[in-house]
Structure 1
Amino acid sequence: MQRFLNALLNQRWPGFKVKHHAVLPEKEPVFGTLRPPLPQALEESLTRMGISALYAHQTEALEMIRAGRNIVVATPTSSGKSLIYNLAVTEGLSENHEQRALYLFPIKALSRDQLATLENFFEMSAQAGAGMRFRTAVYDGDTTPYQRTKVRQHLPHVLLTNPDMMHYALLPFHGKWENFWKDLRFVVIDEMHTYRGVFGSHVSQIFRRLRRICEYYGTHPQFILLSATISNPRQLAGQLIGAPEDDIDVVVENGSPQAKRHFVFLEPEEIAAAPVSSSAARLIAHAARTGLKTIAFTRSRRLTELVHMSVLRMAPQLRKRVSSYRAGFLPEERRIIEQKLSGGALDAVISTSALEMGIDIGGLDLCILVGYPGTVMTTWQRGGRVGRSGRESAIVLLPQPDALDQYIVHHPQDFLNSGYELAVTDPMNEEILKTHLPCAAAELPILQREVDADPVLTRVVSELTESARLLRAADGEQWLSAALNPHRTVDIRSVGPSYAIFMESDSDRKLPLGKNEGIRALKECHPGAIYLHRGETYQVERLDLEKRTIQVSACNVPYFTRVKSEKETEILEVFASKPVGNFIVRLGRLRVTENILGYEKRKLFTQELLGSDPLDLPPQTFETVGFWIEIEPLLAKNIQAANLHFMGGIHALEHAAISMFPLFALCDRNDIGGISIPLHPQIEKGAVFIYDGYPGGIGLAARGYEIIGDLLLKTKELIASCDCTDGCPGCIHSPKCGSGNKPLDKKAAHLLLRYLLGELNLAEKVPAIDPENIPVAASNPPAPAAVPEYRIGFFDLETQRLADEVGGWQNKHLMKVSVAVLLETPPDTVHVFRENEVPELVKRLTELDLVVGFNIAQFDYAVLKAYTTVDLNRLPTFDLLRDIHERLGFRLSLGHLAEKTLGRPKISDGVQAVEWYRQNRWDSLIEYCKMDVLLTRDLFRFALENGYLLYTDRRNRLLRIPTPWSLDALVKK
Structure 2
Amino acid sequence: MIQRFLNALLNQKWRDFKVTHHAVLPAQEARYGKPEFPLPPILEETLLQSGMTRLYCHQTQALDHIRSGQNVVVATPTSSGKSLIYNLAVSEALLQNPVQRALYLFPIKALSRDQQETLDTFLGTLNAKTGKSAFQAAIYDGDTNAYRRGKIRQNPPHILLTNPDMLHYALLPFHGKWETYWKHLRFVVIDEMHTYRGVFGSHVAQILRRLQRVCRYYGSTPQFILLSATIANPKELAEQLLGHARNSITVIHDHGAPQAKRHFVFMETEEGAAGHASGMAARLIARAAEAGLKTIAFTQSRRLTELVHMSVLRLAPQLARKVSSYRAGFLPEERRSIEQKLAGGDLSAVISTSALELGIDIGGLDLCVLVGYPGTVMTTWQRGGRVGRSGRESAIILLPQPDALDQYIAQHPQEFLKSHYEIAVVDPSNEEILKAHLPCAAAELPLEEEEVHQQNSSFQKVVEALTKSGRLLQTGEGTQWLASSLRPHRNVDIRSVGESFAIFTTTHEDQKRPLGKSEGLRALKECHPGAIYLHRGETYHVESLDLANHVIHVTPSGAPYFTRVKSEKETEILEVLASKPVGNFVIRLGRLRVTEHILAYEKRRLFTQELLGTNPLELPPQTFETIGFWIEIESVLAKHLQADGLHFMGGIHAVEHAAISMFPLFALCDRNDIGGISCPQHPQVGKGAIFIYDGYPGGIGLAAKGYEIILPLLEKTKELIASCSCPEGCPACIHSPKCGSGNKPLDKRAALAVLKFLLGEWNPLQTSPTSAEEPDEPLFHAPLARSLAPKRRIGFFDLETQRLANEVGGWQNKHLMRVSVAVLYETGSDGFHVYREEDVMSLVQDLQKLDLVVGFNVERFDYEVLRAYTPFDFRKLPTFDLLKEIYRELGFRLSLDHLAEKTLGANKTADGIQAVNWFRQGQWEPLIHYCKSDVILTRDLFRHALEKGYLLYSNRNSQLLRIQTPWDLEQIIQESNGHRSMPVQSAEIQPLDLSDVQNRPS
TM-score range, shorter chain: 0.7 to 0.9
Give the match for residue 480 of structure 1.
482
SS of the counterpart of 1:212? helix
Does the CA contact (< 8 Å) of 1:451 and 1:457 recur in 2?
Answer: yes
Give the match for residue 532 of structure 2.
530
Select which of 740, 752, 755 maps to 2:754.
Answer: 752
Instruction: Mark the CA change 1:584 to 1:914 in structure 2 (over 3 Å): closer, same or farther.
Output: closer
Counterpart residue identity of residue 152, structure 2: V
Give the match for residue 956 of structure 2.
none
SS of the counterpart of 2:69? coil
Give the match for residue 629 of structure 2.
627
Matches within 5 A, 1:458-857: 458-764=460-766, 820=797, 822=799, 837-840=826-829, 843-844=832-833
Q: Deviations over 1:755-778 (max 9, x none)?
A: 10011123259xxxxxxxxxxxxx
Counterpart residue identity of residue 215, structure 1: R
Q: Deviations over 1:194-250 (max 9, x none)?
A: 000000010000000000110000000000000000010011001111111211000
Give 5+ residue unaligned stretches, structure 2. 768-773, 784-791, 804-817, 838-849, 882-909, 921-925, 932-997
SS of the counterpart of 1:735? coil
SS of the counterpart of 2:306? helix
Q: CA deviation at 1:273?
A: 1.2
Aligned partners of 2:911 and 2:179: how far apart in 1?
64
Give the match for residue 259 of structure 1.
260
Aligned partners of 1:591 and 1:394: how far apart in 2?
45
Q: CA deviation at 1:407?
A: 0.6
Q: Does 1:209 align with 2:210?
A: yes
Matches within 5 A, 1:82-161: 82-129=83-130, 132-161=133-162
Aligned partners of 1:240 and 1:574: how far apart in 2?
27
Q: CA deviation at 1:629?
A: 0.4
Counterpart residue identity of residue 301, structure 1: R
Give the match for residue 412 of structure 1.
413
Counterpart residue identity of residue 264, structure 1: V
Instruction: Mark the CA change 1:23 to 1:551 in structure 2 (over 3 Å): closer, same or farther.
Output: same
Instruction: Mark the CA change 1:802 to 1:29 in structure 2 (over 3 Å): closer, same or farther.
Output: closer
Question: What's the TM-score once normalised by structure 2's chain length?
Answer: 0.81
Does the CA contact (< 8 Å) of 2:579 and 2:871 recur in 1?
Answer: no
Q: CA deviation at 1:840?
A: 4.5
Q: How many residues align?
A: 854
Instruction: Mark the CA change 1:36 to 1:130 in structure 2 (over 3 Å): closer, same or farther.
Output: farther
Matches within 5 A, 1:75-474: 75-129=76-130, 132-270=133-271, 273-454=274-455, 455-474=457-476
Give the match for residue 847 of structure 2.
none
SS of the counterpart of 1:844? strand
Counterpart residue identity of residue 710, structure 1: P
Q: CA deviation at 1:941?
A: 9.4
Aligned partners of 1:748 and 1:114: how far apart in 2?
54
Q: Deviations over 1:443-466 (max 9, x none)?
A: 000111111112211110000000
Instruction: Mark the CA change 1:908 to 1:457 in structure 2 (over 3 Å): closer, same or farther.
Output: closer
Instruction: Mark the CA change 1:838 to 1:707 in structure 2 (over 3 Å): closer, same or farther.
Output: farther
Counterpart residue identity of residue 513, structure 1: L
Counterpart residue identity of residue 479, structure 1: W
Does the CA contact (< 8 Å) of 1:74 and 1:233 recur in 2?
Answer: yes
SS of the counterpart of 2:397? strand
Give the match for residue 22 of structure 1.
23
Aligned partners of 2:427 and 2:587: how far apart in 1?
21
Does the CA contact (< 8 Å) of 2:795 and 2:853 recur in 1?
Answer: no
Does the CA contact (< 8 Å) of 1:799 and 1:914 recur in 2?
Answer: no
Aligned partners of 1:644 and 1:824: how far apart in 2?
32
Instruction: Mark the CA change 1:941 to 1:201 in structure 2 (over 3 Å): closer, same or farther.
Output: farther
Larger mean CA deviation between 268-277 and 640-649 belongs to: 268-277
Does the CA contact (< 8 Å) of 1:271 and 1:730 recur in 2?
Answer: no
Q: CA deviation at 1:270?
A: 3.0
Does the CA contact (< 8 Å) of 2:918 and 2:927 recur in 1?
Answer: no
Instruction: Mark the CA change 1:407 to 1:945 in structure 2 (over 3 Å): closer, same or farther.
Output: farther
Q: Does 1:64 align with 2:65?
A: yes
Does the CA contact (< 8 Å) of 2:820 and 2:836 recur in 1?
Answer: no
Question: What's the TM-score once normalised by structure 1's chain length?
Answer: 0.83
Instruction: Mark the CA change 1:152 to 1:674 in structure 2 (over 3 Å): closer, same or farther.
Output: same
Aligned partners of 1:149 and 1:832: how far apart in 2?
70
Aligned partners of 1:65 and 1:175: how far apart in 2?
29
Aligned partners of 1:230 and 1:275: how far apart in 2?
31
Aligned partners of 2:9 and 2:819: how far apart in 1?
55
SS of the counterpart of 2:36? coil
Instruction: Mark the CA change 1:160 to 1:968 in structure 2 (over 3 Å): closer, same or farther.
Output: closer
Aligned partners of 1:593 and 1:632: how far apart in 2?
25
Aligned partners of 2:147 and 2:928: how far apart in 1?
85
Q: CA deviation at 1:831?
A: 7.2
SS of the counterpart of 2:833? helix
Q: CA deviation at 1:126?
A: 2.1
Q: CA deviation at 1:475?
A: 1.4
Instruction: Mark the CA change 1:271 to 1:619 in structure 2 (over 3 Å): closer, same or farther.
Output: farther
Counterpart residue identity of residue 221, structure 2: H
Aligned partners of 1:358 and 1:908: how far apart in 2?
48
Query: Percent of counterpart pairs with the same letter?
Result: 66
Aligned partners of 1:5 and 1:700: how far apart in 2?
39
Does the CA contact (< 8 Å) of 1:822 and 1:832 recur in 2?
Answer: yes
Instruction: Mark the CA change 1:106 to 1:941 in structure 2 (over 3 Å): closer, same or farther.
Output: farther
Larger mean CA deviation between 268-277 and 482-491 belongs to: 268-277
Does the CA contact (< 8 Å) of 2:16 and 2:273 recur in 1?
Answer: no
Larger mean CA deviation between 148-157 and 265-274 belongs to: 265-274
Q: Deviations over 1:454-488 (max 9, x none)?
A: 22111100000000000001111110000011001
Aligned partners of 1:816 and 1:34: how far apart in 2?
63
Q: Deviations over 1:879-910 (max 9, x none)?
A: 999xxxxxxxxxxx9789x99xx999x99999
Counterpart residue identity of residue 393, structure 2: E
Counterpart residue identity of residue 6, structure 1: N
Q: Deviations over 1:31-72 (max 9, x none)?
A: 011121111111111111111100000000000000000010
Instruction: Mark the CA change 1:561 to 1:838 in structure 2 (over 3 Å): closer, same or farther.
Output: farther
Aligned partners of 2:203 and 2:877: how far apart in 1?
46
Counterpart residue identity of residue 138, structure 2: A
Does the CA contact (< 8 Å) of 1:272 and 1:401 recur in 2?
Answer: no
Does the CA contact (< 8 Å) of 1:801 and 1:816 recur in 2?
Answer: no
Aligned partners of 1:559 and 1:304: how far apart in 2?
15
Aligned partners of 1:641 and 1:543: how far apart in 2?
48
Larger mean CA deviation between 416-425 and 635-644 belongs to: 635-644
Does the CA contact (< 8 Å) of 1:100 and 1:185 recur in 2?
Answer: yes
Q: CA deviation at 1:841?
A: 9.6
Counterpart residue identity of residue 458, structure 1: Q
Instruction: Mark the CA change 1:939 to 1:374 in structure 2 (over 3 Å): closer, same or farther.
Output: farther
Q: CA deviation at 1:5?
A: 0.3
Give 5+ residue unaligned stretches, structure 1. 766-793, 804-814, 850-863, 873-878, 882-892, 919-936, 948-965
Aligned partners of 1:388 and 1:51: how far apart in 2?
16
Aligned partners of 2:184 and 2:170: how far apart in 1?
19
